[in-house]
Amino acid sequence: MDHSREGIRDEGDFQKLHQLLSNYKDCEISLIFNYIKDDLIYIVESLNTQSLLSELKSCNIPNVEKYQSMRKNCGTSIFAQNLVADILAAGREAFTGFLEGLYVLGRCHRHPNLVAVMNEIINTGETLVNSILLDEHGHSLIPDLKKIQKHHKQYLLKKTQTLVENKPPASTLEQKHFYISERYVNLVVVCTQYFRQRSQDEITQAGEKLDSCLQKTKRCLQNIVPKRLFHWCHQLKCVPRIVMVSGVPGVGKSTLLQKFTNEWVNGNLYQRFSFVFFFKFRELNRLIKESSLEDMILNQYPYLQSQIENILQHPEKLLFIFDGLDESTHQLNFITSKLCTDTKQKERVNIIVVNLLQQLLLTGCSVLMTSRPTRLSLLPTDIFQRMVEIMGFFPKERQMYFEHFYSDKNLSERAFRFVKENDTLYTFCYIPSYCWIICTVLSMCFKVTPTNNVQLPTLPKTVTQLFVIYVANILKNHSQNLENAREVLKSLGRMAEYGILNRILVFDKHDMASFDEKICSSCLLSSFMTESDSASNVTFSFLHLIMQEFFAALINYIQFSPDSLAKSLSEAQSYQDGRGIVFLKFICGLSDKSTRSLLTPYLGELSTEASKHVIQWLKSILADEKLQGNIRDNRKLMNIFFYLFETRNNELVSASLKSFKTLDFFRIHLMPLSCDVLAFIIRCCNEIEKLHLNECYIRSEGLNRLKPAIHNIKDLSLFTNDLKDSAMTTICSALADPLCKIQKLNLSDNGLTSSSCIELANGIKNNQSLKVLDLSCNCLAGPEFNNLIDVMADPCCKIEELSLRGNGLTSISCAQVAFMVTRNQSIKKLDLSYNNLEGPEFTEFIAALSCPKCRIEELLLRYIKLTEHWFTQLASGISKNKSLRKLDLSENNVAGPHFSHLMETLSNPSCRIEELKLCGIILTDDQVPLMVQLKNNKNLKQLEMSNNTISDRSACYIRQLILQSSSLQEVILDIKGFSKETKEILMRELQNLHNDVKIDIL
């Protein structure tokens, strides 16, 4: 293949990759391929098929043509799996060509998993095979350690091999157990730097290249399968040892760790760890006395006593798992925490954990931890070398969950069909815990009404309603014992609230008796709590922490006390670690009369006074000056939106958010339910004009949840959300709405292909509001692109600014764009940067520029890959254009022999160009003097020449241009060839002589 063609990001790295692949043995190639197979499938699914197959064809991969139809007929997933399997079967030459082709695509398609795979091979090189083998076979151990390791694995196997599924009354009172290997449904896990602090400069730095920005931001979206948690991290260029898994309540953090541990036990994962120690923070909370790390381990695994010292001698062979940091009563203080470097040293649990994380205790060991995101806001998260976030179930996984839940296939299909037809229920299903509640409620309903036409009496619209319906169904099936239901729920509620506010999640019989002596004998108890036997005690905990938080809120409506409620609200709001957020959502949700009424038949009337108290509390929060107008803490704002959403109180929302004109949730991962909340807020607040959800990873499902509201937004930005073509139906619907207000729409970097152009064209055709459209960094080149251009060429089209940068356009597209430019006189700004426009059809675009009908005022042609002779023709087109005011020709080879023609055109006194960018070019000492001619352009106000190469001795010509120009108002220079001294002299001279000109020499 031609290694010199455009697309090679770094020739040195490419040659290193090529050399490494050549040196591997056939068996090693096969080993590496299987090691990265999951990543490759995900990468193939995500890349533009046309670009991928074109690259593979140039790499001599056989029978490439068949995959085009395969993707269309079988879908992306089957296509990706078959392609990767075929490459593996074809042998080393195909695999090598495949990887080299992906590397080339990596320049324009900075897919984070692709970057990670290439970085790992290039940086670990010769040691990669040994690392893979170590993970497969593990370290060699002395006989005694091998024997006790076997015992340890057998113990953990019993603990992790089954998933426990609690069943409420009306189906069975017993728990069901399933093998995790058969029942586990994969969760979507993405690598995120979102908890790390960012400087404002990183986000908004002026003049930063768009593709560089994408390279930074898209690092947040690397898909991580469990077996990659401790694989190479390309951001830090190392194998991480300290890893954090975060996720919202109920999203599956604990189950993921159970699956992870089970895979290690069975030899399928990370055998580099000779011993894995699994701790739950909720159990560590019960360690009141100080304890050493050895004691902590032996308390959980007493059979390790004889070998504990030998085990701890090799920290690099150890993995510590800590589940549920948000459930810990201990604060992790990384600044003033006491030093602990001895495994026998007795300290509080939090001190031991901090020293493990800081690698001061057992240096070289690995730590895997989980937490809700809210708790992480209090930690210096740079301590974690990899942070991943569980996104929950996507549609395919939801269906699999239903199939696993119901043993009857027909019942599974009926239940899933019912849920899919109800948007709210389907939205809830992205969280596994909510899936379980929905499936449980439906199974009870289906049992009562075993017909195909079964309907729930009430469909939940909020999370609070979901839990209320769950509890109501349990009480309904306990109708013969309802006389004491209110008292039992009182006791459960008091205990739940006390536990939430004091971080107590596990209760023994003494704890239970302190709230109600009879509670342990109630038949209702097993519907809400689970019992666990240990060697020393019998303990109880709620089926899930979310269930405990619900009952903690409910007690305030069953047994209202103004003082108690005020105290609970104040305490829950004050917790900086976020432990009160879900509790507050429920307490706000129960303020809705229609929600409370679902429990009335079983519990009697719930307090109206409590509802009034909560509404008044919400009003006081929203009246806080810090929240008015411009709020910086968008996570806090989103939580408040959730509180409002749960109330279903439209008037409260409308009255409280009058001052909010803009909502910006930049880089906050928004789940489908968050999008439902935003849609509710926007529908209630007509004042909101700007909605920016850039890099929120909402995907097409999240966008669909916003569908009822987005047509009301004037400025809608959805930059980097992986929307794909499927989202265009929602976008088209919003644009075609007769009441559509959208004036600015940003869909850049969303994996759109030419297929999306048909839907988008239909939306624009029926729209009269859209003025600015940004489609940058997609891949719209293709047969359907013409549909979009035809619509925008219509004189009735109102679009004034259009960005098509980085869309894989070729010179063929120039003819289409030229047609649009001459027909639609509304377009004032056109961005065609980062496309390969060289070719015979480019002359048609030049002719369009020369056309009297052309009204373009700003033209961006940065890095369009034209060779120098084209700039003579382009100069001719510019000279004939009467409307052009701003021109960007940066990063093109404009500095050849034809540079003089360009300068002659731009220097003509009749030239109307006011802003000129010539960044990223190399000028010889013979060419720089030609730039002095620009002084003749009496309209030129701004000149930018960043990232250029000009020698020191040519500096005088730049100085001469600036001093002799009568029109320049701003000059930005960043010249690589200038020495520090020359820059300082230029700055001093120019600032002294031109006080009225803004001059930046970077």
- The tokens describing 7, both together, are 């697309």
Residue 798: Cβ within 10 Å count: 16
* pLDDT confidence of residue 453: 52
Q: Are 635 and 668 in contact (CB under 8 A)?
A: yes
pLDDT of amino acid 3: 34
* Cβ-based neighbour number of residue 638 at 10 Å: 17
**307 DSSP 8-state letter:** G
How many other CB atoms sit within 10 Å of the CB of residue 828? 19
User: Domain locations in the chain?
Assistant: 11-137, 143-200+207-392, 395-456, 480-619, 890-1002
In percent, the amount of the chain with pLDDT more than 70 equals 89
Whether the CB-CB separation of 106 and 32 falls below 8 Å is answered with no
Name the token pair of 262.
């089970």
CA distance 992 to 28: 66
For 914, the token pair is: 């006011």
CA separation for the pair 346, 337 (Å, rounded): 14
Question: Which residue ranges of the chain lie beneath pLDDT 70?
Answer: 1-12, 59-61, 107-110, 165-178, 181-183, 192-221, 447-458, 478-483, 533-536, 625-632, 990-997, 999-1002
> How far, in Å, CA of 556 to CA of 559, rounded?
5
CA 613 to chain centre: 37
From the candidate CATH numbers 2.60.120.260, 3.40.50.300, 3.10.20.440, 3.20.20.70, the one assigned to the domain spanning 143-200+207-392: 3.40.50.300
Q: Cα 506 to the chain's mean position, in Å? A: 33
**What's the token pair of residue 82?**
């078959």
- In angstroms, the Cα distances linking 609 to 559, 590, 591 are 11, 12, 9
What is the dotted CATH code of the domain comprising 890-1002? 3.80.10.10
User: What one-letter code names the amino acid at 782?
Assistant: G
CA quadruple 331, 337, 343, 346: dihedral sign = negative
- The C-alpha angle with vertex 170 and arms to 167 and 176, in degrees rounded to 5, equals 25
Cα distance between residue 230 and residue 242, in whole Å: 9
Write down the pTM of the prediction. Answer: 0.78
For 437-502, the DSSP string reads HHHHHHHHHHHHS-STT---SS--SSHHHHHHHHHHHHHHTTGGGGGGHHHHHHHHHHHHHHHHHH
According to DSSP, the β-strands at 829-831 and 801-803 are parallel
The answer to whether 374 and 247 have CB atoms below 8 angstroms apart is no
Stretch (H or E) spanning 774: strand 772-774
Segment 624-670, tens digit of pLDDT: 755 544 445 788 889 999 999 999 999 999 988 888 899 999 988 88
**316 contacts 361 by C-beta, under 8 angstroms:** no
pLDDT digits (tens, 9 = 90+) for 250-307: 888 998 999 999 999 999 999 999 999 999 998 898 887 899 999 999 999 999 999 9
Encoding tokens for residue 946?
């960043």
Copy the structure tokens of residue 108.
């324009």
Q: Which residues pair with 285 in a beta bridge?
A: none
